[in-house]
Structure 1
Amino acid sequence: MIQRLEKAAASRSDDLAISNEQEALSFFQLLRLTEDWRERLSSYPKGTRLLISLPGGPSFLAVQLAAIEAGLVFAAMPHETPPEGRGKYLELFQPDLFLGDEGLSPQTVGKRADLPAEAAMLQFTSGSTGLPKGILVSKAQLTANLEINREHIQGIHPGPVFCPIPQFHAMGNAVVLEYLLHGIPVHLSNRFVPAFELGRITEFACRSVLASPNWFQLLLKLGALSAEKLPSLSSMTLGTASVDTTLVQGLRQAFPQAHIHLRYGLSESVGALTRLDIPPGKGLESRGLVGPPVPGIRIQNLPGLEEEPGELRAKGPCTCLGQLSSPERFERLDDAEGWLSTGDLASMDAEGRVHLRGRSSSFIKSGGHRIEPGEIEAVLRSFPAVLDAVVVGVQDPLLGQKIAAGLEVQEDWDQGALRRHCRTFLPPYKIPQRIQALSPFPRTAAGKPDLSKVRQHFEGTQGQTPRR
């Protein structure tokens, strides 16, 4: 992978390669820093485990590339994690070395599972539904993802990109590697300050933004996204499991001539499994449509749109080696034929495009109905005063589960008006019985809504008067 950086540095030596809030390096400077770290890390035996806690940006990337090239197993935890919160990452990974703001230090190692010899990187899951687990990938899988995306990246993204997704997150990490190692500058953000982030897009004349649907949704509601305010933007990519048509409609109104891309992937795969390209002037046909498989990825036969959805199973050169589910347990996640179960329910249309129907584990069973939370969340987010929403099932002796919605809202929200809005767009059995504004709105270190904390909140407030 360093060879790709060398190639980019040879043709774009003095051009800016990567930046964050504090640091910016050219391709040549990034290569020199990477080589310095490779020389330092090469003194450790192959298979040495390195855990870092650095802000996303030049130093993070240099250490990552150097560690992989030196044969170490690299992992990154959220930089803002306080010392007392590092335990869950240290305990799971059992690293030999830790690199943080205070420097590189050896660690005491306990009992731990043997990892596959080809393991190059451990990607922590977000922990949005509980404690994080570790997904292991090889250098060959990382390289295969670069090849799979080469034509798309070079054809659609001729200029700098901006990515506010943390680099320790699966998509944030994939974006940096995919674009920068194809010679495209990447500008990162490690804190959500809308005015600052929009200023960086303008400063570096970014041609594309790759972010979560929540990022785009919030900035649209703040009135911050438009072709007039961000004239350099020609492309937007939403990393997603499912996007509502109204969000794409809002982006299309703000940027009539931009290309909009939806990429669906998992921590268990490097990069995207499917991609949907929405050309200028077009919208999203239906919620959950995420497009056909990317080149090299196979999707096992799925039911048609009129049938009950089935579990989406994928196979290809980028699916992971397996999972470190506890310090002493490594397990493969694919079956004997190499098929990876994603946990997502999906259908496929006549054009070979995947339509996501929800997570098999997230459906709410209420009053005899099987309810997909994403549809309700989309309706809640379409209400002007709602910035974000999470819908969970809470145990109930009569219904089986009640539908509970935790919201991030603007100050002037009105629950009565929101319920009338829900009655307009949802059948009665899908309207949440409990709706509460949560302040602060619980999120994981990756910025995703923390489902486990939302569920714990509602389970701990059964029978209490909801906050307005």
Structure 2
Amino acid sequence: MNATTVPQLLAARAAAEPAHVAVSQGNNTLDLGTWQARTQAIAAGLRAAGVQAGERVGLLFGAQDWVAYACAYTGVLAAGAVAVPLSTRSAVAELVYMLEHSGATGLLYGPTAQPPDVKTRLCWDSYAVAALPDAEPLPGPGPADAAQILYTSGTTGRPKGVTAAHANLTHGFRLRPPLRPLAHSRQFLHAFPIGTNAGQTMLFNALYAHAGMLVTARFGPDHFARLIERQAVGSVFVVPAMAIELLRSGALERHDMTSVALLGSTAAALPPTVAAGLAAALPRATIVNYYTSTEAAPTQSTVVFEPDRPGALGKVVAGGALRVYDDAGQPCPAGVTGEVWMRCAGTARSYHDDPAATRHVFRDGWTRMGDLGYFDPDGYLYLVDRESDVIKSGADKVSTVAVEAALHEHPEIVEAAVFGLPDPVLGMAPAAALVATRPLSLGEVRRFLATRLAGHEQPSRITHVDELPRNAGGKVVKHRLRALFDREANS
């Protein structure tokens, strides 16, 4: 299969299906013919303004602006420049850092975005972009050229810019495929923010899949379920926090979900009880868990929920591979926990302007996932924990994923996040932040967990919160929860 570029994919599909509606949001729609025309207008405008091939251009668009963002993104790429997708949910200081770190020479931003005060040679609002005249296609980039720098969620430190070439983003795509993904659906629905890996995956679904993208700027369980019912949505994509809200609210029972053939969850592992709840609430749907990272994408593992292996993260697909290595760099046998690596099926990614980190994470086509896990005898991967989240408590190691899964079994616990806190005897001890239907005492929680977890795995402290703090990608930011206990200790 010959490598291709993102502009070539869009041009080929727009020529074949110009009237296909690729993106729908509220009253705004984007068909492929219009997408292609706006892409070329933006590309020509950028070139005329002095943007050169290989230069980086930031894209700051709010959750309401997916149609404008889609055109800006492909326009930047068609100009041969490198797109830097940003989220309006990020703090101003983070946006400034990303623009400066990426070396962005330009910034395109939407009507609901407030651009940060940072020096760029070119800064266009959405009205300036929309006013660009139609133009003929440019020669464009090559498959090996850089296409985007996407910043990681930064849950364990400062965000890192991950560079992807066109050949990486288009791996497995064909200019004229005999069958397109999501062929069972007329539309797929999501509520992921721009500037995240999950959001980029949805953008490429809109570009390539049979189904058109239906996107909502805000996630509310009833609003989301109502969209599914009204539009007879066939494919639905969520993060675990959204899945929990859909189940907790009863929205899946209040609305007609019979159109849903696929529900996919990404960004973090679904707690087994949540996956089982989705399967019961959506008996006609296939429940799928996706496992990847900003560094490893577009390679991913997938698993269809099965009651006899509810916690499995699946097997890798599309030509990639998974390995679990011990500390000596040797493959671990089934049942033995080690470090998870994923092999990219095509062109691997790298960190922007950070060769040391690139050498540490990317090796010979393999990507270090930062997770600990193991294979079962059938080759299914199970996640034990984020390597940085494992709690070393005395002589034991505690998996926060296992403790969180046990807490989710409690009928009055809606969400749970587990992390380590300093302990004068053990060094570190588990603690938990809970979103619950009523205040629970530590004794109640520990009695419930007594038959589910070993003593050293049980939380030594708990706190209650109205909601768990999350980043733009939907992942829990645990250092903010640790600060709650620090404040309690100092009060």
Task: Give TM class, smaller chain.
Answer: 0.7 to 0.9
CA distance in 1, matches of 2:178, 2:481: 41
1:107 positional shift: 5.6
Q: Report the Cα offset of residue 121 of structure 1.
A: 0.5
Secondary structure at 1:378's aligned position in 2? helix
- Where do residues 26-105 of structure 1 align in structure 2 (5 Å cutoff)? 26-43=31-48, 44-56=51-63, 57-81=66-90, 83=92, 86-101=95-110
- Alignment-derived partner of residue 315 in structure 1: 343
Deviation of 1:210 (Å): 1.1
Instruction: Give me the whole-angstrom Cα distance separating, in 1, the residues matched to 2:466 and 2:93.
Output: 23
Is residue 218 from structure 1 mapped to residue 245 from structure 2 by the alignment?
yes
Residues in 1 aligned to 2:78 and 2:72: alpha-carbon distance in whole angstroms? 10
Task: Please state how far the C-alpha of 1:406 moved relative to its aligned partner.
Answer: 1.4
- Cα deviation code 1:66-103 (max 9, x no counterpart): 21222111111112446565323233223111122369
Give the equivalent residue in structure 2 for 1:25. Answer: 30
Report whether the alignment pairs 1:305 with 2:347. no
Taking the aligned partners of 2:117 and 2:451, their CA distance within structure 1 comes to 59
Question: Aligned-pair distance for 1:457?
Answer: 2.7
Offset at residue 388 of structure 1 (A): 2.0
* AA partner of residue 49 (structure 1): R
Secondary structure at the residue paired with 1:311?
strand
In the alignment, structure 2 segments of 5+ residues that lack a partner are: 1-5, 122-142, 325-330
Taking the aligned partners of 2:346 and 2:418, their CA distance within structure 1 comes to 31
Q: How far off its partner does 1:220 sit?
A: 0.5
CA change 1:429–1:22 in 2 (3 A) is: farther
SS class of match (1:414): coil
Check whether the contact 1:270–1:319 (CA below 8 A) recurs between aligned residues. Answer: no
Larger mean Cα displacement after TM superposition, 166-175 or 434-443? 434-443
Q: Answer whether contact 1:167 1:176 (CA < 8 A) is retained.
A: no
Q: 1:258-283: per-residue Cα shift (whole Å, max 9, x none)?
A: 111111101102234211134xxx43
Aligned to 1:414: 440
**1:214 deviation in Å?**
1.8
Decide which moves more: 395-404 or 98-107.
Answer: 98-107
Question: Could you tell me which of 293, 300, 304 is aligned with 1:273?
Answer: 300
Distance 2:42 2:210 in 1: 21
Query: C-alpha distance in 2, partners of 1:304/1:203?
Result: 49
Which amino acid in the other structure matches residue 311 of structure 1? E
Matches within 5 A, 1:35-434: 35-43=40-48, 44-56=51-63, 57-81=66-90, 83=92, 86-101=95-110, 108=119, 118-144=145-171, 146=173, 154=181, 157-226=184-253, 229-278=256-305, 282-283=306-307, 285-287=309-311, 289-300=312-323, 302-307=331-336, 309-318=337-346, 320-324=348-352, 331-334=358-361, 337-410=364-437, 412-415=438-441, 417-434=444-461
Q: Cα RMSD (Å) of the superposition?
A: 3.1
Aligned residues: 451
Percent pairwise identity:
24
User: Is the 2:164–2:348 Cα contact (8 Å) retained in structure 1?
Assistant: yes
Q: CA offset at residue 37 of structure 1?
A: 1.6
Given that 2:260 and 2:284 are in contact with CA atoms closer than 8 Å, whether structure 1 keeps it comes out as no
CA drift of 1:394 comes to 1.0
SS in 2 for 1:261: strand
TM superposition shift of 1:170: 0.5
Give, in angstroms, the shift of residue 202 of structure 1: 2.4
**1: CA distance between counterparts of 2:56 and 2:310?**
44
Offset at 1:462? 3.1
Rounded Cα–Cα distance in structure 2 between residues aligned with 1:354 and 1:153: 27
Of 355-364 and 16-25, more deviation after overlay is shown by 16-25
Match of 1:5 in 2: 10
Greater CA drift, 227-236 or 100-109: 100-109
| Separation in 1, partners of 2:17, 2:487 | 56
Structure 1 position 450, deviation (Å) = 0.9
Q: Is the 8 A contact 2:183 2:210 kept in 1?
A: no
CA change 1:305–1:240 in 2 (3 A) is farther
Q: CA deviation at 1:426?
A: 2.0
Amino acid at match of 1:211: V
Retained in 1: the 8 A contact 2:335–2:376?
A: no
| TM-score, structure 1 normalization | 0.86
Shift of 1:237: 0.7
In structure 1, give the amino acid aligned to 2:82.
V
Displacement, 1:106?
11
Residues 431-446 of structure 1: pairs in structure 2 closer than 5 A: 431-439=458-466, 441-446=468-473
Q: CA deviation at 1:180?
A: 3.2
Does the CA contact (< 8 Å) of 1:4 and 1:182 recur in 2? Answer: no
Please give the alpha-carbon distance, in whole angstroms, between the structure 1 residues aligned to 2:232 and 2:272: 28
Measure the CA separation in 2 of the matches of 1:191 and 1:354: 32
Distance in 2 between the 1:387 and 1:151 partners? 44
The CA deviation at 1:423 is 2.6
Please tell me whether the aligned partners of residues 13 and 28 of structure 1 are also in contact (alpha carbons under 8 angstroms): yes
Distance 1:238 1:31 in 2: 30
Distance across 1 between alignment mates of 2:284 and 2:254: 9
Aligned to 1:113: none
Matches of 1:295 and 1:26 in 2, distance apart?
28
SS at match of 2:291: strand
Matched-pair contact (CA < 8 Å) for 2:7–2:77: no
Asked if the contact 1:161/1:209 (under 8 Å) is kept, the reply is yes
Partner residue, 1:461: 488
1:135·1:267 contact (CA, 8 Å) conserved in 2? Answer: yes
Q: Which has the larger displacement, 367-376 or 188-197?
A: 188-197
